[in-house]
């Protein structure tokens, strides 16, 4: 199993039956593949869908049904379409149980930077700024490092998407909770040691006394 699938599989364990969940583009879109049988999740997409589904079969794409990343998607029975006003009312109104998104950087304070790198052209911030403030739980799903550079920092250096909003970080190396005391390593991929995880992390890690292998 590759790194992205390891992360997506673990993130799926955070979701509960009946949750309304927003998925960011990229890696988070893999999460539905790993939901346990009997878990019914309502996926919301900020471009105007609730009940959005996975990738359609080849040749059955409907260009009017795409996820937030512009990729062809499906719509579940009972799903709904609406405009941006309604979509962001759902988000800002606190009706999204969890949002799962990637990050350029996360820090020990729960700050998130995921929308731009200064000097590089970006299409826009999308719905991330609203989602990380409006969702009840914010889960960052990302690879632990970027070409040898830290992504989990003492303090973000890139422009912030939001401050003090991240609850959980899931990488291929482990699961890290953001607490008022700092970052707590609660689960570890048995392929790595605690020292390995700390060496790959700029911010200091507290190790849970109940540390267990990553599910």
Written as six digits, the tokens of 148 are 């040898």
Written as six digits, the tokens of 167 are 């609850």
2, 15, 96 from 19: Cα distances, Å: 27, 7, 8
Let me know if 58 is a catalytic residue.
no
Q: Which of 14, 46, 172, 187 is catalytic?
A: 46
d(CA 152, CA 201): 6
d(CA 49, CA 194): 41
Concatenate the DSSP letters of all residues of 66-109 into one string.
B-TTS-B--EEEEEEE--HHHHHHHHHTT--SEEEE--SEEETT
Give 56-64's long-range contacts (Cβ < 8 A, gap of 24+).
none
- Decide if 42 contacts 95 (C-beta within 8 A): no
Q: Which residues are designated catalytic?
A: 46
């Amino acid at each position: 199993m590759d790194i992205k699938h390891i992360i997506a599989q673990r993130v799926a364990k955070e979701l509960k039956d009946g949750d309304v969940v927003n998925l960011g583009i990229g890696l988070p879109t893999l999460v539905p593949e790993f939901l346990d049988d009997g878990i019914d999740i309502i996926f919301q997409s900020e471009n105007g869908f609730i009940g959005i589904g996975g990738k359609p079969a080849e040749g059955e794409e409907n260009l009017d049904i795409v996820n937030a990343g512009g990729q062809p998607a499906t719509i579940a029975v009972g799903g709904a379409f609406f405009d941006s006003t309604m979509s962001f009312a759902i988000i800002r109104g606190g009706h999204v149980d969890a949002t799962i998104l990637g990050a350029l950087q996360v820090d020990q304070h729960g700050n998130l930077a995921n929308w731009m790198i200064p000097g590089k052209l970006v299409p826009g911030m999308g719905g991330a700024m609203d989602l990380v403030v409006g969702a009840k739980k914010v889960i960052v799903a990302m690879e632990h490092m970027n070409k040898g550079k830290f992504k989990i920092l003492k303090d973000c250096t890139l422009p912030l998407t939001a401050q003090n909003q991240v609850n959980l970080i899931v990488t291929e190396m482990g699961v890290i909770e953001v607490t008022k005391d700092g970052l707590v390593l609660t689960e570890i991929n048995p392929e790595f040691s605690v020292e390995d995880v700390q060496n790959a992390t700029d911010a200091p890690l507290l190790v849970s006394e109940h540390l267990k292998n990553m599910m």
